[in-house]
Amino acid sequence: MSPLVVSLNPAVDVEWRVPRILPEEKNELISERRWPGGKGVNVARWLRWLECPAHLFLPLGGSTGEELADGLRREGIEFSSFPLKQPSRVNVVVTPDPGTGPQFRFNPTWPRVSAAETRGLLRGVAKRTARANPVIISGTLAFGASVDTYARMARAAKRLGKRVVLDCDRQPFALAVKEGPWLVKPNEFELGQWSGATLRTRSAQWKAARSLAEATGGWVLLSRGGEGAWLLNAVEKVAWSAVPKTVTVRNRVGAGDAMLAGAVAASAKSDQPEEWLRSAVATGTAATQVAPGAVPSRSLWRRIRASVEMSAIPYR
């Protein structure tokens, strides 16, 4: 069975490149790029590139929804959609020339789904879950949906014996964690949200990651930015760290989604968790070397993968 990726808050992603960002002045755009975006869409894109194609399920509305669907077809990403009354959102990334300032991201808090639309989305996911494994729940919950929507999806998938992979944040994440997903992928900030603490030290991050692993009974893949990632399991009492070779970061959009796809794709081919982690870090790092919405050459990915330094972490 192939993976199902559930993306309830997709977007048309737009990148504006500028020479520099000037407050209270006109900022002229050098270029504009548009592509299908949102965390779940990114995951599906990377899974396809990793030769582990998934089926993507997502809600679409209005002309932006049509634009998003056209982009998915051009990329060859298999998908099915649920119609929304409100138009799909457009996320904007403003990228100045390197060295002239930070990147800025602007994400709308719409469209908002109705109770009836939420029920339709749940039915759509349930219908497709029977033919898929794992079920990957990725990205911000659709605005207006009940906060337990992801938890309900996870519970239904587990009843069918499916692996559940979870990558979201805030209360939807906390509630879905209680359903015991097979793998969760927070970053340091999201882990802090879940634990209710600011994780300023490695020791605090490790303690929180262990607590999360104990809560799920499954795998925790913690992305740690330039320091790579950890993969741990409280039941098996094993943990590893993976650190990529230092690279000059070109882009950070979607790197965590690429990391998740790397882990899922490797788990379909190998029962060795170390290989899942190596693939995850290599793929996440490769995403930082290309433009948002793009994928790298195979040779670049292989070079990065060969450079990843792996080490076991004593589980205590």
Q: Is residue 316 over pLDDT 80?
A: no
Selection from 2, 16, 17, 7 nearest residue 69 by Cα:
7
Selection from 64, 57, 31 nearest residue 43 by Cα:
57
DSSP 260: H
- Which domains can be identified in the chain, with CATH numbers? 182-316 (3.40.1190.20)
Q: Is residue 97 over pLDDT 90?
A: no
Angle at 125 between CA 69 and CA 149, to 5 degrees: 110
| Identity of residue 210 | R
Q: What share of the chain in percent tops pLDDT 90?
A: 88
Specify which residues 57 forms β-bridges with: 6, 80
Average pLDDT over residues 169-175: 96
Q: Is residue 91 over pLDDT 90?
A: yes
> What per-residue confidence (pLDDT) applies to 245?
85
Q: Which tens digit of pLDDT belongs to each residue from 249-263?
A: 888 889 999 999 999
Using CA atoms, how far apart are residues 40 and 53, in angstroms rounded to an integer? 13
Q: Which tens digit of pLDDT belongs to each residue from 108-150?
A: 999 999 999 999 999 999 999 999 999 999 999 999 999 999 9
The confidence band for 101, taking pLDDT boundaries of 50, 70 and 90, is confident
The confidence band for 248, taking pLDDT boundaries of 50, 70 and 90, is confident
Average pLDDT over residues 290-299: 92
Report how far Cα 7 is from the mean position of its chain's Cα atoms: 10
> What per-residue confidence (pLDDT) applies to 235?
95
The half-sphere exposure of 233 on its side-chain side, counting CA atoms within 13 A, is 13
The answer to whether the beta carbons of residues 139 and 9 sit under 8 Å apart is yes
> In what helix (H) or strand (E) does residue 46 lie, and over which residues does it extend?
helix 39-49
Average pLDDT over residues 155-180: 97
> What per-residue confidence (pLDDT) applies to 253?
84
Residues 191/265/43/54 CA torsion (nearest 10 deg): -130
> What per-residue confidence (pLDDT) applies to 286?
96
Selection from 74, 68, 70, 1 nearest residue 40 by Cα:
68
Selection from 184, 219, 190, 226 nearest residue 205 by Cα:
190
Report how far Cα 149 is from the mean position of its chain's Cα atoms: 18
> What per-residue confidence (pLDDT) applies to 102?
86
> What per-residue confidence (pLDDT) applies to 143?
96
Q: Which of 22-31, 55-64, 233-242 has the lowest mean pLDDT?
A: 22-31
Round the average pLDDT of the chain to a whole number and report it. Answer: 95
The answer to whether the beta carbons of residues 137 and 168 sit under 8 Å apart is yes
Q: Is residue 76 over pLDDT 90?
A: yes
Q: Is residue 315 over pLDDT 90?
A: no
Q: What share of the chain in percent tops pLDDT 70?
A: 100
* Longest pairwise C-alpha distance within the chain: 57
The confidence band for 226, taking pLDDT boundaries of 50, 70 and 90, is confident
Please list, residue by residue across 61-94, b when 16 or more beta carbons sit within 10 angstroms of its beta carbon and e when fewer do: bbebbebbbebbeebebebebbebebbbbbbbbb
Average pLDDT over residues 38-49: 97
Residues 6+ away with beta carbon under 8 Å from 279 = 50, 262, 263, 265, 266, 305
